[in-house]
Amino acid sequence: MFQPFEYREGVLYCEGVELSKIADHAATPCYVYSARAILDRFHSYDQGLFGIPHRVCYAVKANSNLSLLNMLAQAGAGFDIVSGGELHRVLKAGGDPGKVVFSGVGKTREEIDSALQLGIHSFNCESEAEIALISSLASRLGKTASIALRVNPDVDAATHPYISTGLKEHKFGIDIAEVEGVYQRAAALPGISLDGVSCHIGSQLLDPAPLLEAATKMLALVGRLRAKGIAIKELDLGGGLGVPYHAGDPRPDVDTFLRKIRQLVDGHNLFLMFEPGRSVVAEAGALVSRVLYRKKNGEKEFVIIDASMTELIRPALYEAHHEILPLRKSKFGTVVANIVGPVCESGDFLAENREVANVLPGDLIAIMTAGAYGFAMASNYNSRVRPCEILVEGDTWRVIRQRETLDDLIRGEEL
C-alpha cells in the first residue's frame, strides 16, 4: 500500500514534494492531501470486488472537497451522502446522481424532493415515517424511488461511542427484530421499490469481525424477506474500516476482508455496495502547522502552534490520537509536552503529555492521518479563518481551497 508521507534525508515529503516548501508558499495552517494515496485506497475496494456486481460509494462526509470528489468520480466512484448540501457538492464535482445513495436519519422534505428530481440511485431509510414521506413525494412526481431500509443489527462495533451506530440504543436504523414487519407494511405503499437492505454499525474498526458478523445477519434477513415475497436485489454494508492513527496500530487488510465478504455473499445474487470514507482519505492527509511559542507552567511543557481545535477537532472531541512529526528531523532530541493551539479553551489541544520532537518557535510540524474528518469538521470559532487545502500530485501541488479571508467570516451578516 502506497505511503504518501516519508522522510528523505531528514526532510518530510508528501509524494514528491517537500512539505516545508508548501508551507512557505501557502502559509500555515494548511491541509495537504496526496492524490495517489486517495486513489490507491479507493481502488483497493473497487478491485477487491472485481468480478461481482458492486459499487463503491465514497462517504462524502469524511472529506467533501470538490477536487477530491471530482478525482473519485473520474475513478468511477459512487457517493454516499447525508445531506442536500453534500448532493450539491457531488453534482458540482461532476458526480453522477445515478450513483448516489442518500443516507442519514433526518432527511428533510426539500432534500428528498430534490434527490428524487435529480434521479439518485437510492435512499437508505431509517424510519417508517421517512418511508411514508418518500412514497408521498415520489408519487406526486410520478416517480418510483428505490429504497433500502437501514437495519440496526445490534452488533457492537467496539469503537468510540460517538462513532458507534449499530446497537439498539443508537438513533440510527430500524431494529432488526422489527424490520420484517416494516418491509411488509412498506410493500403496500405507492411510489417506492423495496430493492435493498442496508446497515452501517460504526467507523474506525481495526478488527473487521463485527462487520462480518453484521453481514452474516443481513444475509439471513435477505433470505427471510425473499421468502415473504420481497425481492431484495441489493445489499449495502456501509463503511467502517479504520486506519492506524497510532504508530504500530494494526491495519485492516481490505483484500482479506473483501475476500471473506465475497465468500459470504456467493450464491445470493445480490448487487453489493460499500461506503468507505475514512479508510479512503484519512492517511492521505496531514495538517501542517508552525510553532508559535514554547511555554512552561510549573513542570508542564507547552508547544503552542498556529493550528487548533478549529482546524482539527478530533483530539478535543474524541480524545483522538494523531501522530505529530517535525517537517525536518530535530537535532535537539525530544520533549514531553502538550501541543496546543491559540483558541481560548482548555480543550484546545492536538496532543497531551506526548513525547514529540523538541521543536522551537518557527519550526514546522505535520499532524498526521488528518485527511478524514479534519477540514470537514473545521469551524470559525474564535473568528478564526479556515485553512487552505492543498493537493499533491507527484512532484507538483496546487491549492484546491483558498484560505478564508476576514471578510469571509462576516459574509451574510448585517448590522
CB distance 240 to 202 below 8 Å: yes
d(CA 389, CA 401) in angstroms, rounded, equals 5
Does 239 appear as a known binding residue? no
Does 86 appear as a known binding residue? no
Does 240 appear as a known binding residue? yes
Q: What are phi and psi of 412, to 5 degrees?
A: 90, -10
| Nine-digit cell string for 217 | 445477519
CB distance 286 to 19 below 8 Å: yes
Is 125 an annotated catalytic residue?
no
Question: CA–CA distance from 274 to each of 45, 118, 124, 138, 149 (Å)?
Answer: 8, 22, 13, 25, 15
| Nine-digit cell string for 184 | 411488509
Q: Tell me which residue has cell 482519505.
A: 281
Q: What are phi and psi of 40, to 5 degrees?
A: -60, -45
| Nine-digit cell string for 367 | 499532524
Where does residue 299 rank: exposed (0-12), middle (13-18), buried (19+ CB within 10 A)?
Answer: exposed
Does 355 appear as a known binding residue? no
Q: Which of 14, 57, 199, 344 is catalytic?
A: 344
Does 31 appear as a known binding residue? no
**Residue 15 backbone class (left: φ over 0; alpha: ψ -120 to 50; beta: rest):** left
Within a 10 A sphere around the Cβ of 329, how many other Cβ atoms? 12
Does 345 appear as a known binding residue? yes
| Nine-digit cell string for 309 | 481545535
Does 109 appear as a known binding residue? no
Examine residue 29 and say whether the peptide bond preceding it is cis (omega within 30 degrees of 0): yes
Does 185 appear as a known binding residue? no
Q: DSSP code of 282? A: G
Does 183 appear as a known binding residue? no
Q: Which residues contact 101 (CB under 8 A, 6 or more apart)?
A: 57, 78, 79, 80, 81, 120, 121, 122, 123, 124, 236, 273, 275
Among residues 52, 45, 120, the alpha carbon closest in space to that of 271 is found at: 52
Within a 10 A sphere around the Cβ of 154, how many other Cβ atoms? 17
What is the set of active-site residues?
A: 344
Binding site, annotated residues for substrate: 278, 314, 318, 345, 373
Q: Which residues fall in the annotated binding site for pyridoxal 5'-phosphate?
A: 240, 275-278, 373
Which residues contribute to the annotated binding site? Answer: 240, 275-278, 314, 318, 345, 373
